[in-house]
Amino acid sequence: MTIALTGGLVADGTGAEPVAATVLVDSGRIAAVLPPGDQPSGAEVIDATGNIVAPGFIDLHSHADFSLQSTPDAPTQLYQGVTTLVTGNCGWSPFPITDLAALRAGTAFLDPKHDWSWRDVDGFARRALESKVEIREIRDDIGRLHHAFPLRPGMSREELRGRAGAADERVFGHLLGVLEAEGVVKAERDKVRLTTHEVRLGPEQQKIVDRLEAEFLSAAAAPPSPEEAMARAGLPGDEEHELFQVLVESRRLVRVKESLFFHATALETIQDKLVAMLRERKEIGPADIKDLLGISRKYAIPLLEFFDGRRVTARVGERRVLRGGSTAG
């Protein structure tokens, strides 16, 4: 792509007086400096009227070698017009490494996020380049997955790490941290998403999701199987279906055991009732929860095990007691 910078005063850095001119940039390089007013057709025009047009500045004293890995796009330098950095001139640089502990301790305030996986200048340069490439690849990969699975709010961190060539956990975590610090991705528990990604359901999809949710809400303590609920909502499939997963991912449906899901609100109500009963009776058996909720053993046993797992109850033989006795409902 060709860009024409027009209307500006060109200071070329040689010390000559600035002159009015049009600068033509082609594929990132200055292709020509033309008399003012010349505008080749087809070029994208950037109006620089009132501005100085100059080559990038050289920053003669920086410590960017310690920050480029976590901030590879170097926006603070670019916004100032700096395009070339000189580093290492106060006797500090992240290579060669002969005493890592001392170097790390003495430079931690500059950028504590280094993985220090190099030893010499070649290794450093490779690592800097790698970070930049890897960071972009990870970002693009998340974008591709969002495109392929638009209804998933986030992508599995482990799946992404696998796609990044099963990157070392520490390095991968570092790269994700960089993207997160830049506000490009958001990591929540084991899921990662681009900050720009939002799950948007079409009207038909929304109807099905609402219908599914209503099934589980009204069924309360005796929910249908995912297949049954899906069939009633007019869709073939099971809990793997992306519309079912919308409810699971948003934690409106909770997996209690294998293919047994309850609505989160129903579970809260069940827990309240269970705790109230345990406060009164001190201990209960499976038959008591069946009577309490009017449900069969098929639901009662997984529910009791689920609340054991949530540390609401503790198991004593076949009976349950309140754990710690202080669990609020």
Positions that interact with Zn ion (CB under 5 A): 90
| CB-count exposure of residue 191 (10 Å: 0-12, 13-18, 19+) | middle
* Helices of type H across 121-263: 121-148, 157-163, 169-181, 203-219, 226-232, 242-249
Whether 238 contacts 287, CB under 8 Å: no
Amino acid at 137: E
Minimum CB–partner distance for residue 20 and Zn ion (Å): 38
Whether 20 contacts 10, CB under 8 Å: yes
Minimum CB–partner distance for residue 67 and Zn ion (Å): 13
Give the separation between CA 50 and CA 45, rounded to whole angstroms: 15
Give the separation between CA 97 and CA 103, rounded to whole angstroms: 8
Q: Which is nearer to Zn ion, 61 or 189 (CB)?
A: 61
Q: Which is nearer to Zn ion, 61 or 251 (CB)?
A: 61
Amino acid at 217: L
Q: Which is nearer to Zn ion, 63 or 174 (CB)?
A: 63
Q: Which is nearer to Zn ion, 90 or 101 (CB)?
A: 90
Minimum CB–partner distance for residue 82 and Zn ion (Å): 15
Nearest to 96 by CA among 127, 62, 70, 122: 122
Residue nearest to Zn ion (CB): 90
Strand, helix or coil for residue 57: strand
* Maximum pairwise Cα distance, the chain: 94
Minimum CB–partner distance for residue 89 and Zn ion (Å): 7
Q: What are phi and psi of 198, to 5 degrees?
A: -135, 140
Q: Which is nearer to Zn ion, 92 or 149 (CB)?
A: 92
Minimum CB–partner distance for residue 68 and Zn ion (Å): 15
Minimum CB–partner distance for residue 143 and Zn ion (Å): 38
Q: Which is nearer to Zn ion, 22 or 62 (CB)?
A: 62
Give the separation between CA 258 and CA 247, rounded to whole angstroms: 16
